[in-house]
Amino acid sequence: MAGIYIHIPFCHQRCSYCDFHFSTLLKHKEKVIDALLTEIEVRKNELSAPIETIYFGGGTPSVLSEKELATLLDFIFKFYDCSQVKEITFEANPEDLSMAYLKMLKKNGINRISIGTQSFVDEELRLMNRKHSAKQGISVIKNIQDAGFENFTADIIYGINKNYKKNLAENIKVLQSLQIPHFSAYALTIEEKTLLNKKVKTGEFSILPDDAYEYCFNTLHAFAQENDFLHYELSNYAKPGFKSLHNSNYWHNKPYLGFGPSAHSFDGKNIRRWNVANNHLYVKNIQKNTPYFEQEILTVENLFNEYLMTKLRTIEGIDFKYLSKNFPNKYSTRILEQIKLLNASWYNLNENRLNLTPKGWLISDFILKKLFI
Ligand code: SF4
């Protein structure tokens, strides 16, 4: 089984923490969608496996009109084997999700919505330069439920400012009261080319100390445990039956095609490729039939390190049987030697598997560095 990702590289405005690829020049949307349709068609022979999941990400897919969404889906269904599709996820911002838009998504086959709520506290939304209010975020979730979507997820960013404890408590209260089946929670990170980074440099914005993020992570983990959420990946929490299939397939190394500027693809074996992260160049090169992507062939070491990086962030962890089938034995031996040098409260180890505890997840970058080849 395989996946398809479609990157919609447009947003209404720039969020202060964001370094994803997008443009606010929506007047170029039509040209980019034409190029996307061409890419979907020309790559039709790249996948032999049937498609299981389709994911519209961005940017902001909810800038698409019904006609644009329906045409993109028509092309995907026309050129790929979609007879076994189980999940079609659509990322959307709260301000775009009117009841009419939600009904349109449902009519076109979307069965999972990922809402960019980020917070249910106005103070935090303002600091992140989000366009919507906390009230809008809450009412849109009710609309999603009223429109008949059972499967949806909300994003939360924590550790924004000195009020992080009070604000996290408010966010948790809303997650609980709205009976959300899945949420993703990320620590605020300050990326180089962001508005927040400029503010950090001028002293207008302060980064919290590490123990603030630790507090938030532990509080969310405890909330998950007490409320029947499975904390199944470092940043992801699901009620039974609501894990993200698309992302889980990434973590299981299944093949996927990524369409659109900056989208990544993986052949399920050892080739990874990525499209140019520039709307103008993407359109121009697709039109001229000149290369619009780069690719790399992953070495055994690359594949091993990627396996560790993805699997140690999941609750399943590393499977030693998989390692012995796919990598030289010395790699497993090295993991066993290295992990035993680390604090035993950071991991669980038995003869079949190694996974990290929540304490280990908090310092997973440090642990991974110790285990990488
Ligand atoms: S966070 Fe999402 S909505 Fe905000 S600028 Fe980035 S891609 Fe656009």
- The total of other beta-carbon atoms located within 10 Å of residue 170's CB is 17
3-state secondary structure (DSSP) of residue 180: coil
Q: Which residue's CA is the nearest one to ligand 1's atom 4?
A: 15
Percent residues over pLDDT 90 in the chain: 99
Ligand 1 centroid from CA 26, angstroms: 14
Probe target for ligand 1 pocket from 12, 13, 15, 64, with the most ligand atoms within 8 Å of CB = 15
Q: Prior bond to 59 cis, omega within 30? A: yes
Give me the pLDDT at residue 67, please: 98
- State whether the beta carbon of 22 lies less than 6 angstroms from ligand 1: yes
CATH topology of domain 2-250: TIM Barrel (3.20.20)
- State whether the beta carbon of 93 lies less than 6 angstroms from ligand 1: yes
Give me the pLDDT at residue 351, please: 86
Nearest-angstrom CA–CA distance, 215 and 157: 14
Supply the ipTM of this predicted assembly: 0.99
- State whether the beta carbon of 63 lies less than 6 angstroms from ligand 1: no
Domain boundaries, given as residue ranges, for the chain: 2-250, 300-371
Nearest-angstrom CA–CA distance, 365 and 23: 31
Which of ligand 1's atoms lies nearest the C-alpha of 118? 1
Ligand 1 centroid from CA 15, angstroms: 6
Query: Is there a contact between 21 and 261 (Cβ–Cβ < 8 Å)?
Result: yes
Would you say the CATH fold of 300-371 matches that of 2-250?
no
Query: Is there a contact between 108 and 117 (Cβ–Cβ < 8 Å)?
Result: no
Nearest-angstrom CA–CA distance, 31 and 141: 32
Which of ligand 1's atoms lies nearest the C-alpha of 91? 2
What is the rounded average pLDDT of the residues 237-254? 96
340-358 pLDDT, tens digit each: 999 999 999 998 999 999 9
Query: Is there a contact between 345 and 357 (Cβ–Cβ < 8 Å)?
Result: yes
Q: Which residue's CA is the nearest one to ligand 1's atom 2?
A: 59
- State whether the beta carbon of 17 lies less than 6 angstroms from ligand 1: no
Q: Which residues contact 227 (CB under 8 A, 6 or more apart)?
A: 176
149-206 pLDDT, tens digit each: 999 999 999 999 999 999 999 999 999 999 999 999 999 999 999 999 999 999 999 9
What is the rounded average pLDDT of the residues 127-146? 97
Q: Strands 182-187 and 152-158, how do they pair?
A: parallel
Ligand 1 centroid from CA 23, angstroms: 10
Which of ligand 1's atoms lies nearest the C-alpha of 14? 5
Q: Strands 230-233 and 236-238, how do they pair?
A: antiparallel
Give me the pLDDT at residue 113, please: 98
40-72 pLDDT, tens digit each: 999 999 998 999 999 999 999 999 999 999 999
Give me the pLDDT at residue 135, please: 97
Taking every pair of Cα atoms in the chain, the longest distance, rounded to a whole number of angstroms, is 58
- State whether the beta carbon of 18 lies less than 6 angstroms from ligand 1: yes
- State whether the beta carbon of 94 lies less than 6 angstroms from ligand 1: no
258-309 pLDDT, tens digit each: 999 999 999 999 999 999 999 999 999 999 999 999 999 999 999 999 999 9
Nearest-angstrom CA–CA distance, 310 and 318: 9
> Which CATH number applies to 300-371?
1.10.10
Ligand 1 centroid from CA 335, angstroms: 38
Ligand 1 centroid from CA 240, angstroms: 29
